[in-house]
Amino acid sequence: MPNQPANAAPAPIEPIPAAGYAGDVSCQTAYRWWQSGQAVLVDVRSSAELAWVGFVPGAVSVPFKQWPDMALNPDFDAQLHAAVPPDKKVLMLCRSGVRSIAAAQRAAQLGLQAYNVLEGFEGDANEQGQRNRLGGWRYHGLPWRQG
């Protein structure tokens, strides 16, 4: 597993309970579950975000909202069902771990065991408005690509 930056907080071992879906998990826990085959990693960011900011190789792209107006994806339910076998957990990943909460809640309504990935792909913005400095998939050194 990739090394964590020296200033990274330790990852919780167990999911944190949440209202309306199975729970919140750290990026590191999500990575372990995904790599072990227990879960499907679903990136709910728009295609523009994947192209411009980067993506996780092997993650399934099912946008929750679509670029450019960020309207809800009318095919989200069908695309999610096609991507996630009923016996697998689903891990929802977005930019900062906020939009993925709504996606996890929707997935739970569809009968899936859904988790939100805390911090998302880029984490929260710091005091200078920069992401990838306070947390997120990339910050923790987990696999990603750009381009």
Triad 54, 97, 58: Cα angle to 5°: 40
Give, in order, the Cα–Cα distances in Å from 109 to each of 11, 17, 20, 102.
27, 16, 8, 11
Tens-binned pLDDT, residue by residue, of the chain (147 aa): 444 454 555 555 679 999 999 999 999 999 999 999 999 999 999 999 999 999 999 999 999 998 888 899 999 999 999 999 999 999 999 998 889 999 999 999 999 999 999 999 998 888 987 777 788 999 999 999 997
Enumerate domains of the chain plus CATH numbers: 20-117 (3.40.250.10)
Per the confidence metrics, is the pTM higher than 0.95? no
Q: For residues 103 and 82, what is the distance between their CA atoms, to the nearest angstrom? A: 15
